[in-house]
Copies of this chain bind each other. A is one copy, B any other.
């Protein structure tokens, strides 16, 4: 009986969040380990399903690291990495495209449909969603088909959202000549959040958030100002894979997104907790 009361209480406490976020767009970047563990994957998809039922408009942006590497392995292709990025020749790019848009994307779509919401997968080619160009490296290195977003054409996303679908986006971009590019998924998430004037950008990652001292997990920063974030990138406390995440947050904030979060995707239901409670998990990047 008491359990029943608690149950009701939880629902009641979610009201202000449901109210505040009703009909609002949430861009959720999903990647890393949270994508490798089947149970975690299921838990994230359930969270997104619930957000949809509660009247929010989630958009899922995904990467696909390990599975790409595995597939490249199968065809006996070795990846060279330069400055932490995969040098992407034509054959590699085809594999990237196939794994992202053909495998992972459709798996996520299938899970969401299975939970009773309507999901539709798309990649940057569909409806010209992500117009890209070859990424220019400061040192002039040639990374092959690694690209940058030139322009976002969100019409197809609006069409799908208006009809109640959850768009699931594979981060492959298309160039003006029809060539395809692999684009960092965090960057794409930031761009989409900006183009859609999203309420929130939420990046699920493999750590708890950003640490004052990366070596000391007790130094998690719950609220990080842009200025300080830039400084921490400068002095190296934010480094490697965390850099594009923080930059995506900054980009989104500077283009009208209200709130951006980097949270721990390894913890079950961290997404729900971030959106529907005031527990303050992970790091929020703010202006």
Partner-B contacts on A (CB < 8 A): 4-8, 10-12, 14-16, 18-19, 22, 46-47, 49-50, 53-55, 71, 74-76, 94, 97-103, 105-106, 109-111, 113-116, 118-123, 125-128, 155-156, 159-160, 163, 165, 172, 174, 178, 180, 268-269, 272-273, 276-277, 279
Contact = CB atoms under 8 A, between A and B. Distances in A.
Contacts of A97: 102-103, 106
Contact of A98 (B11, B12, B103): B103
A47 to B, nearest CB: 8
Contact of A99 (B14, B46, B102, B279): B102
A204 to B, nearest CB: 15
A7 B8 contact: no
How many protomers of this protein does the assembly include? 6
A99 B71 CA distance: 12
Nearest to A10: B10
B10 A273 contact: no
A62 to B, nearest CB: 13
Given A5-B269, A272-B8, A15 B103 contact: no
Contacts of A172: 106
A153 B55 CA distance: 23
Contacts of A174: 110, 113
Given A4-B279, A8-B269, A18 B120 contact: no
A120 B268 CA distance: 34
Given A11-B10, A102-B102, A159 B156 contact: no
Contacts of A102: 97-103, 105, 123
Nearest to A179: B110
25 contacts: A4-B269, A4-B277, A8-B47, A8-B269, A8-B273, A10-B10, A11-B11, A11-B14, A15-B116, A53-B54, A98-B103, A106-B126, A106-B180, A109-B126, A110-B174, A113-B125, A113-B127, A114-B178, A118-B127, A118-B128, A118-B156, A120-B126, A121-B123, A122-B122, A155-B163
Nearest to A17: B53
Contacts of A180: 106, 110
Contacts of A16: 116
Contacts of A71: 98
A240 B10 CA distance: 37
A10 B11 CA distance: 8
B53 A53 contact: no
Closest 4 CB pairs of A and B: A102-B102, A8-B269, A98-B102, A98-B98
A16 B114 CA distance: 12
Nearest to A4: B273
